[in-house]
A and B are shown apart, each in its own frame.
Chain A
Amino acid sequence: MSAESTHVAMTLSDHLPILQILVPLVSAPLIVLIGSRRLTWSLAFIASVLSFGIAILLLMQVIDGSIISYQIGGWAPPLGIEYRVDATNAFVLLLVTGISTLVLPYARESVKSEIPAKHHTLFYAAFMLCLTGLLGVTITGDAFNVFVFLEISSLSTYVLIAQGSYRDKRALTAAYDYLIMGTIGATFFVIGLGMLYMATGTLNMADLADRIADQGSNRTVRAAFAFIVVGMGLKIAIYPLHLWLPRAYTFAPSAVTVFLAATATKVAIYVLLRFTFSVFQPSFMFEVNTLEFIILPFAILAMFAASFIAIFQNDFKRMLAYSSIAQIGYMLLGISLLTETGLTAAIAHLFNHGITKATLFMGVGILALRSGGSFYNRIQGMGKSMPWTSAAIVIGGLSLIGVPGTAGFISKWVLVEATIEKGWWPLSVLIVLSSLLAVIYVWRVIEVLYLKTPLAGTDYREAPFSMLIPMWIMALACIYFGLATDVTLTASRAAAQGLLAGSAGMM
């Protein structure tokens, strides 16, 4: 009897990679079919918790550097579709599912106030599809599969952003903007994949890597790389390709902004990492050139230009959106250093910035819930009436600056270390200088919240617990990961080593 049950458990754990996708995927149509408003939320939440559990199990299996390869339907790669889990994407899976599990309780109140009740079922269905897409992009080992899941997540994202239109009609144009830009990005990406297929005749990532290993001078391969980087660049919002992001983040419903800011761009960065290090190799001269002469300058430009723009915003949410673009610059900077420490910094920042921005966007969502907007002159003096929300915003803000004792400090430290290690001094100076810009835009908010006099007749109640608790979990995580650095740094170093070893092994 007991032998049989262990057998069942083993089979289940063998199928974890596909379950990671199936659970949220199946929950989406179920939500629509059941349609009862009370149940939809619970269903979505249960599915998300299950995915989170699966992500934890997967990360535990691969943290030692091993790789899980799962063949869909038993068809062996390169012909069949392969799901491939290593330390890097297990880490991203954990981030995505963790954030979604915390965002859902938060979403319950915030969605209630922002979206008419009859649309709630569809909202949660779209949310779960978006989650499925992001997880699929992350877990798959098949290049074309990346495109498919990318479209699933993108299409559902357009819908989710457009839901903000019940509050502000401009959400519709924001969603439309993103639709156009996102589609262009996806098109570029799929053109790149087409070229790769032309050059190699395969779409499995590992197989691709084998076959293009000696084709560093093949123009088709080079062009493919360019298309893929630009396509993903649009999704990541690399500086000059970022135009969709501020509007999309500003006008989307609060819960959607939290989820997208903490996960969507991060997943896109993961794809970029995967393609630069596992499919293409940093030994290709054209790749090194791209990273050093194109990505690196744009990363620095993002760090400064976007921070400057953030300083002059008068809307808290929009300010955070620009700050996200700046922070993406840090991650790209880490990647373009092409060293283990640099990659560690990028991956750690991906995680740390995810939780930091989640805290802040949750905070701004709560302020907007009570005051009806996120403009500075709307939320001024709310530190007094909503002390808990404001305190969490302060913690998130400090982590955004990179004050010691917060998560943001750790990744910035490693990043500066990486630039020094590489001997690129001026970069270290630039990194700290742009942190100082963060001080300015964060402090504007803190002054608005605490030192301005509250508007007359705005004695708001503190936020409901279902929103406060997720936000405080995030805020405490910012502090926890700022003090207990082992977890993030070990995982991101393992991920970085895995990526570099992968590319070195194929050389």
Chain B
Amino acid sequence: MRGNNEEHHARFFASFSLAISAVMGIAFASNMFTLFVFYEILTLSTYPLVAHKGTPEAIRGARTYLGILLGTSIGFQLLAVIWTYSITGTLDFTKGGILEGHIAGPAVAVLLALYAFGIGKAALMPFHRWLPAAMVAPTPVSALLHAVAVVKAGVFTMLKVGIYIFGIDFLAETGASEWLMWLAAYSIIAASVIAMTKDNLKARLAYSTISQLSYITLGMALATSMGALGGGMHIAMHAMGKITLFMAAGSIYVATHKTNISQMNGLGKIMPITYGAFFIGALSIIGLPPLGGSWSKWLLILGAADTGQWVMIGVLMVSSLLNVAYLLSIIGRGFFLPLPEGVPTKVTESPLLVWLPPAITAFGTLLLFFYAGVLQEFLMPIVSGY
């Protein structure tokens, strides 16, 4: 923030804190209504952050952001919540779901669609446009809110709905989530392909996020406890990996004011720490051991194998390959291509407080690999305890 001489600090930090507390509210909500309330507060409190710069571009981006998030949540999610309430009389999160016995037939799939599309923060295609639009925000906002808080609030809500409102067994019995699984698979592949075409680094990361979020939706839609577990794990794994990438992108911007990948030739040589962190984060997103991302992908593949969805295993594999293509090419450019003419070759890292955080989170992805068991035990009772 200060490094770029931005204005309106008070408004920025007030909205930021409000957004964080809204995320806490979502995390601690014990029923769907509370969750919905905080979900909306999160949307509204992040709007000033996205519109922060006040340029026409920022205003347009913020409009898309608000329009899609508020539009889907009021247009679909609110209806779904009221519908759920009117047929079951409760909105409490209950193990095994609350809908069983109250609804049957195609209506289940319709209700699931209202939820799935209503949770716009999960960026399921075709309601993903807000994520790249929100990239006009300052980098800390992109890193925290759009790699972690907002999108994770979305997929967290998605998992909550799948596990506690519908119930995994209910979803498996009715097969209502099968279409969602295919849609998630489509999102995974399509967003990765789009990411490859993006030259703007933040836009590429944004599409990568869309793709990765659909992993989690896929985990829920598989309707097995292994899949849901993988989805839950992936929330943490992806958060750690993606925040590393975003903060590294911010660090590059602060040091060189470059936003496009095609301008970043050879920067790895002068910013070794930033690029090193980016490399580790990228490997975790791709899902290579010994980094955290490998576990969640492993569990998701197991979940797909459980239900005999061989196509989904293929989708996850292809997606990994695409990740390699669009993430590692940045590293390749950074380390192996020569710097442009006239740029001094001595190390010019960004300020300490800018390069240190991505280095820490990169180390975090490594830790997550070794301590994944803790996380798994923590999540286990939620998905299989009934």
Contacts and interface: CB of A to CB of B under 8 A. Distances in A.
B83 A439 contact: no
Contact of A416 (B36, B67, B78): B78
A416 B51 contact: no
Interface string A424-441: 000011001101100110
Contact of B71 (A398, A405, A439): A439
Interface in B72-90: 74-75, 78-79, 82-83, 85-86
A428 B40 CA distance: 19
Interface in B54-108: 54, 59, 63, 66-67, 70-71, 74-75, 78-79, 82-83, 85-86
Contacts of A64: none
Nearest to B52: A451
B18 interface: no
A428 B59 contact: no
Interface in A408-459: 413, 416-417, 420-421, 428-429, 432-433, 435-436, 439-440, 443, 447, 450-451
A56 B71 CA distance: 39
A17 interface: no
Nearest to A429: B79
B75 A436 contact: yes
A436 B71 contact: yes
A439 B67 contact: yes
A493 B82 CA distance: 18
A420 B74 contact: no
Nearest to B54: A451
A420 B37 contact: no
A135 to B, nearest CB: 36
A401 B47 CA distance: 16
B41 interface: yes
B379 interface: no
B273 interface: no
B50 to A, nearest CB: 11
A405 B82 contact: no
B59 A417 contact: no
A432 B79 contact: yes
Contacts of B37: 404-405
A432 B73 CA distance: 10
Given A403-B44, A429-B79, A439 B74 contact: yes
Given A404-B37, A405-B37, A435 B74 contact: yes
A416 B85 CA distance: 11
Given A398-B44, A439-B67, A428 B82 contact: yes
A402 interface: yes
A413 B82 contact: yes
Tell me whether chain A's interface is mostly helix, strand or loop, or mixed: helix
Interface in A190-238: none
Contacts of B44: 398, 403
Contacts of B83: 420
B219 to A, nearest CB: 28
Contacts of A436: 70-71, 74-75
B79 A443 contact: no
Contact of B70 (A429, A439, A447): A439
Contact of B82 (A420, A435, A440, A447): A420
Contacts, number: 53
A405 B40 contact: yes
Given A404-B40, A405-B37, A405-B41, A428 B75 contact: no
A443 B48 CA distance: 12
A345 to B, nearest CB: 12
A436 B71 CA distance: 6
Nearest to A419: B82
Interface string A101-134: 0000000000000000000000000000000000
B75 A433 contact: yes
Interface string A365-386: 0000000000000000000000
Given A413-B82, A451-B54, A402 B74 contact: yes
Contacts of B41: 404-405
A65 B132 CA distance: 55
Contacts of A404: 36-37, 40-41
A436 B86 CA distance: 22
Contacts of A429: 79
Contacts of B78: 413, 416, 432
Give the most central of B37, B67, B74: most A CB within 10 Å: B74
A149 B59 CA distance: 50
A421 B86 contact: yes
A433 B48 CA distance: 24
B8 to A, nearest CB: 9
Contacts of B54: 451
Interface in B333-382: none
Contacts of B79: 416, 428-429, 432
A438 B331 CA distance: 46
Contacts of A417: 82, 85-86
B290 to A, nearest CB: 43
B68 to A, nearest CB: 11
B232 to A, nearest CB: 26
A447 to B, nearest CB: 6
Contact of A443 (B66, B75, B82): B66
Contacts of B75: 432-433, 436
Contacts of B51: 450-451
Contacts of A440: 67
Contacts of A447: 59, 63
Contacts of B67: 439-440
A204 to B, nearest CB: 40
B51 to A, nearest CB: 6
Nearest to B39: A404
Contacts of A433: 75
A432 B86 contact: no
B48 to A, nearest CB: 8
Contacts of A439: 66-67, 70-71, 74
A404 B36 CA distance: 8
A311 to B, nearest CB: 13
Contacts of B82: 413, 416-417, 420, 428
Nearest to A398: B44
A213 to B, nearest CB: 33
Nearest to B38: A404
18 contacts: A403-B44, A404-B37, A404-B40, A405-B40, A416-B79, A416-B82, A417-B82, A420-B82, A420-B86, A421-B86, A428-B79, A435-B74, A440-B67, A443-B63, A443-B66, A447-B59, A447-B63, A451-B59
Pick the 3 closest A-B CB pairs, nearest first: A404-B37, A420-B86, A404-B40
